[in-house]
Structure 1
Amino acid sequence: MSAPFPPWTNSLMRVGTLLCASVLVGGPALLIAWVRSPLHTHQGEPVEQPIDFDHRHHVRDDGIPCLYCHTDAERSPNAGVPSTEVCMSCHAQIWTDSPLLAPVRRSYFEDEPIHWKRVNVLPDFVFFNHAAHVRQGVGCETCHGRVDLMANVVAHAPLQMKWCLDCHRDPERHLRPPSEVTTMGYQPSEPQRVVGRRIARELDIHPPTYCSGCHR
């Protein structure tokens, strides 16, 4: 009695099984790799803003601290985007006729806000409190990078759950004195572990790692 299927179907079955296994294993692996890649997190991608604002000039050259413009970061969940009034507190006196600042002057005198575009965007289901981090010694550059070296600010960190949890589970690697949170290029005077452990003890820092700590 002849075989019900020709011999080549055995090879076809093996190839088909291999392909199915590759899809089942490789598919999720590729998806995870894509989700964690800059293609998905948009790290390093420039964001075109309505006004060309150079953080290098303001932070590095003029020494303006982050909290001068982002005043809410120290006292509220949201860091906030500076109002035009903050810009004009300086530019009503310097560069008063610069064409680069014409949109700022127009916004101020016409009482129309400047529509800045967000660089770091969190999903609606994620709760992040800037004040809780700033007051406990998490430096601005830890999440935002060296903005003093950026002509146009870009997303520095992936801001994904794993990235956040890595810090929450071992905060000592990132803590610094609260007086140094806005210092760019901060270097501890002692080993980071020693500094971080002392700050965590003094400020009683115990970051949440349970779901409702960040998802509310």
Structure 2
Amino acid sequence: MAQLFSPAADTWMRLFLVGSLSLMAGGTVGIIGFARSAYMTSTDVRPQQPVPFSHRHHAGELGIDCRYCHSNVERGPQAGLPPTETCMTCHSQIWTNASVLEPVRQSLAHQTPVEWTRVAKLPDYVYFRHDIHIAKGVGCSDCHGRIDKMALTYRAKPFTMEFCLDCHRDPAPRLRPPEHVTDMAWTPPADAGAKGEAIAAHERIRFGELTHCTVCHR
């Protein structure tokens, strides 16, 4: 009886199966890695801005509180960008003729806002409010990183669904007292979980409901 396959056929078949499985596994890992890459999540990207504003200088070196410029962060869904008048509160006295601040002076003269490029932007299908997070004890640095050390602002956290759910599943260790919400240098205590649970109880945070779809998608 004639032999249909050569003696090496089994070897080639095994190599083919191993190669196919390896390619599938490698492709899956590659896709997941690409989805989490800085390119896709826009992390560590410093977009061109009309003025090279430095949070490191203003928030870090000068110690200006976040709420001085982002005045709506405790009262509404968006933190808000400072109007030109806020910038000129200081810059009408210092760096008055600096060329780098010409767009700010023109903004004030023509009563038109400075067109900043947003860094911390969420998709339109995501429902998010700054005020509720601030009120419950979520610190600015938890989502924005050590922005007080950024010479040019960039997105420090990926803002993916996984990132949000990790916190919503167990927010207690991340909660902090209200006086430390804007404190960039705050570090959780050794008993962060227990203290966070006390804050959550006081603020009536309903743990079991934080991962419901309608919390973030309405």
Question: By the TM > 0.5 criterion, same fold?
Answer: yes
Distance 1:209 1:188 in 2: 23
The answer to whether the 8 A contact 1:188-1:195 is kept is: no
2 CA distance for matches of 1:211 and 1:189?
31
How far apart are residue 139 of structure 1 and its match?
0.5
Letter aligned with residue 80 of structure 1: G
Inter-partner Cα distance in structure 1 for 2:22 and 2:100:
55
Question: Could you tell me whether the CA contact under 8 Å between 1:168 and 1:209 is conserved in 2?
Answer: yes
- 1:57-136 matches, within 5 Å, as 57-136=57-136
Q: Which moved more, 1:187-196 or 1:177-186?
A: 187-196
Please state whether the residue corresponding to 1:72 is helix, strand or coil.
Answer: coil
- Which residue identity lines up with residue 103 of structure 1 in the other structure? P
Superposed, which structure 2 residues align to 1:143-154 within 5 Å?
A: 143-154=143-154
- Aligned equivalents of 1:53 and 1:166: distance in 2? 31
Kindly state the Cα deviation for residue 17 of structure 1 after the two structures are TM-superposed: 1.3
2:46 is equivalent to residue 46 of structure 1:
yes
Using structure 2 for the length normalisation, give the TM-score. Answer: 0.91
Q: Please point out which of 203, 210, 214 is paired with 2:212.
A: 210
**In the alignment, which residue of structure 1 is the partner of 2:165?**
165
Deviations 1:31-77 (A, max 9, x none): 11221233322322222211111111111222211011111211111
Instruction: Mark the CA change 1:175 to 1:7 in structure 2 (over 3 Å): closer, same or farther.
Output: same
How far 1:8 moved relative to its partner?
3.2
For 1:143-180, what per-residue CA distance to the aligned partner results, in whole angstroms no more than 9, with x for missing partners? Answer: 11111111011111111111111111111111111222
Moved over 6 A (4+): none
SS in 1 for 2:115: coil
Question: Are the equivalent residues in 2 in contact too, given 1:70–1:82 (CA < 8 A)?
Answer: yes
The alpha-carbon deviation at position 188 of structure 1 amounts to 5.2
Q: Which residue of 2 aligns with 1:4?
A: 4
Whole-Å separation in 2 of the counterparts to 1:3 and 1:143: 67
Q: Secondary structure at the match of 1:103?
A: helix
Unpaired stretches in structure 2, ≥5 consecutive residues: none
Partner of 2:191 in structure 1? 191
SS in 1 for 2:72: helix
Deviations 1:13-44 (A, max 9, x none): 22221122123333222211221233322322
> SS at the partner of 1:164?
helix
Shift of 1:124: 2.0
Deviation per CA, 1:96-136: give whole Å up to 9, x if none: 22222111001111122211111123222211111110111
Q: Which runs of 5+ in 1 are unaligned?
A: none
Identity among equivalent positions (%) equals: 44
Q: Is the partner of 1:73 in helix, strand or coil?
A: coil
Q: TM-score, normalised by structure 1?
A: 0.91
Q: Point out the more displaced range, 175-184 or 16-25.
A: 16-25
Q: Residues 174 and 188 of structure 2 are in contact (CA less than 8 Å); yes or no, is this contact kept in structure 1? A: no
Aligned length: 216
